[in-house]
Amino acid sequence: MVEITIIGAGVVGLCIARELRDRGAHVQLYDRGGAPGSHSCSWWAGGMLAPYCEAESAAPEVLRLGGDAASWWQHNTGLVQQKGSLVLSQHRDQGQLRQFARRTSHFDHVDRTQIAELEPDLGDRFSAGLFFPSEAHICPRATLTSLHQSLLADGVDFTQGERDPANSAKSGLTIDCRGYVARDVLSDLRGVKGEMMMLSCPDVSLSRTLRLLHPRIPLYLVPRGNGIFMVGATMIESSASRHVTARSLLEMLSAAYAISPAFGEAEVLETGVDTRPAFADNLPRIQRHGNLIQVNGFYRHGYLLAPAFARRVGNMIFGTNQQEVPHEHSA
């Protein structure tokens, strides 16, 4: 049996562990916290599986590699919400909506009535939008926890503690999935700060991701069920990750309020901030140096791209003919 050490139990480390375990490897996972948690930036993510929307500003690879993500997650966790995404703008920003439409695909134009049918609680507030029916979302925390549990059940060892990738590689195949922490060995990695907040607002019921286009503060809102919503996320060229700034809080709350004034009564459950790891092209990379494989740079596309990159790592280690990727047979 192939013995593999993975360092980092964020979304990338866990996806790779799942993929390698499925191919018969014995996987040992090291993590600062011992299990998925608030110390990894994927804990704070939106969990949008929205390759067509992301194509508005992302490289074509994101669309190509992220297309299968929802079925991978559904196969491995069963937690995918396949409700589509709804892209909206306020009346004065209709130009933004036209531009978004020109740069994306796989959507339907929806008018005031259709928007109200999709999301009754929006009422007639928005006159035009774009609906991407094939997109999906997941709850990152439930998803990471589910993946953790299934890996434990399949005999993957989780050890709490730091582990130096270079040292580990001396004794066996090691995959470094530490995100921005790996900046010490990846000098071209940069940090992009993201801030988010969780709101509780039982008065509002929404079933899908809403993106609010705005020239200054494009933000999104993802329903987590039970009247809880995640609002995110800022994108700031900074590696600071201590607290959310007042300005960002104002922007996020304004976006929520613009979507529905009922959010004015919401309770703020939590705010979060962390550092996305990114390379200059904002695309992930797999780099191999002998026994050490570094997988990093997922930027804002961890959940969308980790499955495809986990498969690539599997192919790199086992060769492409080892086993068909199982999720492609699931429906």
Partner 1 sequence: MRDFYGTKLANGLMLGTAQYPSPAILAEAFQRSGASVATVSLRRESGTDRAGQDFWTLIRDLGVRVLPNTAGCHSVKEAVTTAHMAREVFATKWIKLEVIGEADTLQPDVFGLVEAARILVEDGFQVFPYTTEDLVVADRLLNAGCQVLMPWGAPIGSGMGLNNLFGLRALRAHFPDTPLVIDAGLGLPSQAAQAMELGFDAVLLNTAVARAGDPAQMAEAFAAAIRAGQLAARADPMEPRDMAAPSTPVIGKAFLS
Q: Pick from 245, 254, 291, 315: which binds partner 1 (CB under 8 A)?
A: 245
Tell me how far, at minimum, the Cβ of 254 lies from partner 1, in Å. Answer: 12
Half-sphere exposure in the Cβ direction for 112 (13 Å, CA): 7
- Minimum CB distance to partner 1, residue 58 (Å): 7
Among 64, 103, 109, 170, binds partner 1 (CB under 8 A): 103
- Which of 223/297 has CB closer to partner 1? 297
How many angstroms from the chain centroid is the CA of residue 27?
Answer: 23
Among 111, 184, 267, 281, binds partner 1 (CB under 8 A): 281
Among 153, 155, 167, 280, binds partner 1 (CB under 8 A): 280
Neighbours of 117 (CB within 10 A): 11
User: How far from chain centre, in Å, is Cα 145?
Assistant: 14
φ, ψ for residue 57, nearest 5 deg: -130, -5
According to the binding rule CB under 8 A, does residue 142 interact with partner 1? no
Three-state SS at 284: coil
Min. distance of Cβ 192 from partner 1 in angstroms? Answer: 8
Q: Is 98 in the site for partner 1 (CB under 8 A)?
A: no
Can you give 36-51 as a three-state secondary structure string? CCCCCHHHHCCCEECH
- Is residue 86 within the footprint of partner 1 (CB under 8 A)? no
- The 214-243 contact track toward partner 1, x by CB under 8 A, reads -xx-------------------xxxxx---
Site string for partner 1, 189-208 (x = CB under 8 A): xxx-x---------------
Give strand ranges (E) for the chain: 3-7, 26-31, 48-49, 85-89, 108-111, 128-132, 136-137, 157-160, 174-176, 190-200, 209-213, 219-225, 228-232, 267-278, 285-289, 292-296
Specify the residue, 143 or 294, whose C-beta has the smaller distance to partner 1: 294
Question: Any contact of residue 282 with partner 1 (CB under 8 A)?
Answer: yes
- Residue 61 DSSP symbol: H
Binding site for partner 1 (CB under 8 A): 57-59, 99, 102-103, 183, 189-191, 193, 215-216, 236-240, 245, 278, 280-283
